[in-house]
Chain A
Amino acid sequence: MEEKKILDLLKLKFPEVVKDVSTTLGDDVAVIDKEALLPLVKFLKDKPYEYTMLLDLTCVDYLGEEPRFEMVYHLFSLPQNKRLRIKAKLGEKDLRIASLTAIWKNANWLEREVYDLFGVSFEGHPDLRRIFMYDGFEGNPLRKDYPLRKRQPRLRLRE
């Protein structure tokens, strides 16, 4: 039961900030406080756990709930062959979280994507700007309150 081990260990090591651990459908999940993100991933990245790969980084908008946003990180450990999902809630008022660009290089683009599509700002990101949408685009398209059919043409459409 290796997967139980890392989750229990996280709980033991970071008792105040790890709010919940679970294994759903075979995926290990840890819900943490957003302030603890950096020390926690540094701990996981080092030996002996070696979660050296940031597989994925994304955000989910739970409109109507408080806190509204949830950051989702997928880490992968090559030697252990284990995946780990870390989630951190973000309130709408304080939409900031520490950037992982200093730890993983692909975090640069991934965080730009989340900034572009959700409007989350990452503290410590060297070059935080839109990646998919163009400069001057208004709003964040993947938020639930952004209508599917809203158009922002760059040229005025013919009547």
Chain B
Amino acid sequence: MPTRIQKEARQGTMLLNMGPSHPAMHGTIRIMLELDSERILNSEVEVGYLHRGFEKQCENRTYFNLLPYTDRLNYVSPLINNLGYVMTVEKMFGVEVPERAQYIRVIMSELSRISDHLTCLAAMAMECGAFTVFLYKMKAREFIWDVIEQTTGARMTTSYIRIGGVRADLEPNFAAALEKAIKETRAVLKDVHGLLDKNKIFLNRTRDVAVMTPENAIAYGWTGPCLRSTGVYYDVRKAHPYLTYNRLNFEVPLGERGDNFDRYLVRMKEMDQSLRIIEQAATHLPETPAGVMAQDVEPAEAIKESRRKKVRTGVRLSPNLEGSEKDKYKNILAAEKGYVVPPKEETYTSIEGLINHFMFFMRGHGIRPPQGEVYFSVEGGNGELGFYIVSDGTDRPYRLHLRAPCFHIVAALEHLIKGRYVADVIPTFGSMNMIGGELDR
């Protein structure tokens, strides 16, 4: 079947495929170009190569089980996806999350935002020939991912933010690691500013290339750094504050021209602000009693003992559960039962705990939000990341729809590259930060 561009093609022009697998396309996307020598007359963007039926899958998973699928949406900032989904469900319930958990969430989502921007700009700079910048930014991202790995146990597929709070409390030496990551990132940002801001090659390829007007950006539904680069002031963290963002001081950087360079600069400045938020949140973080891993009995022993009498001693948990001991629950998870995994100590040692455990994980039980529908959004790496959930009162969502920010942004690619040269596709596409997992769902 001929595509639209084939039907519309003029005589004497050349049709050229860019992608789906192209070294300068980070992600699988196909751009079909109609060319008059180097000039792009017309183009068509084809997406869907990474469509894996996220929404259909979610309709068939329980609210607890579908959390790992959200990691795989924007795989560069999985924690923000977790947060968006989790807070949508919490909005249905009206859950009160402990303050410490809220600050942990803020820190984690800002770290993810930095890693998202770093990845985007690293790839963009590399494609413009600045390989040093790529390596510097990857180095900074490594330090940030060290903190994330230490806290969540995974680098990318975190599933850390849970309904009601977070999975586990912070590591004892979290503050030191965070300080190191902030210091290294600051240094890298300074270096990158020095390398790129007045770099003639970079400026030639990005300044006044692919200019987006504010009107068009709004008409295309752009959000996030791309919208702000056109000078429109809209940030979900300011417009509809969630978590503790209204208690933290930060600015929303704006661009002026809405070209590729502004999209780069807004992201750079946003990382500065994110670092600022993290530092503030780290000082506000409420104290928690120093965690001691109970050194008492093994679960198997405890179960054996509990057959005869009620176990009073602590139970030694698997190292995987470090940070989610029972005495930490009140700091990191909401108090209400029913949507929080019951503490493992109770599950292992008492019949009531075991019943609670099964009631939570059994099909048809567990997390069951009231009937109704809800839309909630957080500021993701690319913009407004919104979840629309329709609940019919059962343990799985009747319908779950994701408002993927980069879907709207990539939809404008055809418009942006029209009339430009083939070489302009690369920085334009790079500055959009297209993420296949989120775009194609």
Residues on A with beta carbons closer than 8 Å to the beta carbon of B56: 141-142, 146, 148
**Cβ of B215 to closest chain A Cβ, rounded Å:** 9
Is A56 a contact of B220 with CB atoms below 8 Å? no
Give per-residue flags for B419-441: 1 if the beta carbon is below 8 A from chain A beta carbons, else 0.
Answer: 00000000000000000000011
Q: Is B110 an interface residue (CB 8 A)?
A: no
Residues on B with beta carbons closer than 8 Å to the beta carbon of A78: 218, 232, 234
Residues on B with beta carbons closer than 8 Å to the beta carbon of A58: 388, 401
Q: Is B341 an interface residue (CB 8 A)?
A: no
Q: Is B328 an interface residue (CB 8 A)?
A: no
Given A24-B372, A56-B401: A106 touches B388 (CB 8 Å cut-off): no
Q: Is A104 an interface residue (CB 8 A)?
A: yes
Q: Is A25 an interface residue (CB 8 A)?
A: yes
Given A74-B403, A105-B220, A127-B4: A25 touches B92 (CB 8 Å cut-off): yes
- Residue with the highest number of chain B CB atoms closer than 10 Å, among A27, A85, A146: A27
Is B399 a contact of A60 with CB atoms below 8 Å? yes
Q: Is B23 an interface residue (CB 8 A)?
A: no
CA distance A106 to B220 in the complex (A): 5
Count of A-B contacts judged by CB separation below 8 Å: 87
Given A27-B375, A74-B375, A132-B48: A141 touches B53 (CB 8 Å cut-off): yes
Q: Is B116 an interface residue (CB 8 A)?
A: no
CA distance A52 to B384 in the complex (A): 15
Is A104 a contact of B372 with CB atoms below 8 Å? no
CA distance A141 to B1 in the complex (A): 21
Segment at the A interface, from B9-17, B252-260, B406-414: B406-414
Residues on A with beta carbons closer than 8 Å to the beta carbon of B218: 52-53, 78
Is A105 a contact of B48 with CB atoms below 8 Å? no
Residues on B with beta carbons closer than 8 Å to the beta carbon of A53: 218, 221
- Residue with the highest number of chain B CB atoms closer than 10 Å, among A53, A60, A72, A141: A53
CA distance A43 to B411 in the complex (A): 25
Cβ-defined partner of A55 (8 Å) among B1, B47, B373, B384: B384
Residue ranges of A at the interface with B (Cβ–Cβ < 8 Å) = 24-27, 52-56, 58, 60-61, 72, 74, 78, 81, 83, 85, 104-106, 108-110, 117, 127, 130-135, 141-142, 146, 148
Residue ranges of B at the interface with A (Cβ–Cβ < 8 Å) = 1, 4, 47-48, 51, 53, 55-57, 60, 91-92, 216, 218-221, 232, 234, 239-240, 372-375, 377, 384, 386, 388, 390, 398-399, 401, 403, 407-408, 411-412, 415, 440-441
Q: Which 8 A-B pairs have the closest CB atoms?
A: A132-B48, A106-B221, A132-B51, A56-B403, A109-B411, A58-B401, A106-B408, A105-B219
* Known pairs A74-B388, A104-B221, A141-B53 / 4 extra A-B pairs, C-beta < 8 Å: A72-B401, A85-B375, A106-B411, A148-B57
